[in-house]
Amino acid sequence: MARQLRAEQTRATIVGAAADLFDRHGYESTSLSEIVAHARVTKGALYFHFAAKEDLAHAIMEMQTWTFRRLAEDLDRRDYSSLEALMRLTFGMARVYKEGPVLRAGMRLATAGVPMRPTLPHPFTEWREVASFRLLNAVRQSDVHHDVDVDSVAHTLVSSVVGTCVVGAALEPVGHHPRRLAEMWHLRIRGMVPVPRRARYLTLAARLERETRTGSYG
């Protein structure tokens, strides 16, 4: 049991080191030797868990997918409207993006054209499907205009969230991401939410931005 625990800890250390380097330098510019040095493990330890750099990329993408699904499933158990759940999901991802390198590395991998294995859907495809489902329910709940093209809005929403991450990472400290996400939601809300419901969601966007930025989640 102790040996298994050490092996799991070593694997997690290697993945964390790889994510940190992929986040800071990119996938192509990071070598296995640099990951070994950053993780402070032997090459043998790395190759025991991962045969190639592609395996590390896949492990990071898996962790990103699991994180997204856990956040979505947790929100499904709460009594939120569909639009609120979608907004909370994006800010939840922003919180994870802000707190550690794995999601940031996963985002870089997803936008860098690193091949996805057949067992793992591309994250943007999954995010777009979840957004479409929640937006369709939001239309039924009268929180989104009934004549909205749900697929189009879902696509542009995911593109906006991803763009906020990528552009923000290039130009600003990661701590600015929640504010940029709130700005994006303000524009989306004004365009797709009926006037009687608009104030509620504009207020929510501001509150989620503040909670994500300060770490005081209510």
Whether the Cβ atoms of residue 59 and residue 27 lie closer than 8 Å to each other: no
**Nearest alpha carbon to residue 105 among 16, 11, 167, 19:** 19
Q: Could you name the CATH architecture of 53-214?
A: Orthogonal Bundle (1.10)
pLDDT value at residue 217: 54
For the record, the structure tokens of 212 come out as 């994500």
First to last CA, the chain: 38
**DSSP per position, 7-70:** HHHHHHHHHHHHHHHHHHH-STT--HHHHHHHHT--HHHHHHH-SSHHHHHHHHHHHHHHHHHH
Maximal C-alpha separation, the chain: 62
Where do the structural domains in the chain lie, given as residue ranges? 53-214
Q: What is the reported pTM?
A: 0.87
Tell me which amino acid residue 138 is. Answer: A
SS (H, E, C) 83-138: HHHHHHHHHHHHHHHHHCHHHHHHHHHHHCCCCCCCCCCCHHHHHHHHHHHHHHHH
Whether the Cβ atoms of residue 114 and residue 29 lie closer than 8 Å to each other: no
Q: Which residues of the chain carry a pLDDT beneath 70?
A: 1, 216-218
pLDDT value at residue 204: 97
Report pLDDT digits (tens) over 19-54.
999 999 999 999 999 999 999 999 999 999 999 999
For the record, the structure tokens of 129 come out as 């499907």
pLDDT value at residue 215: 75
pLDDT value at residue 1: 59
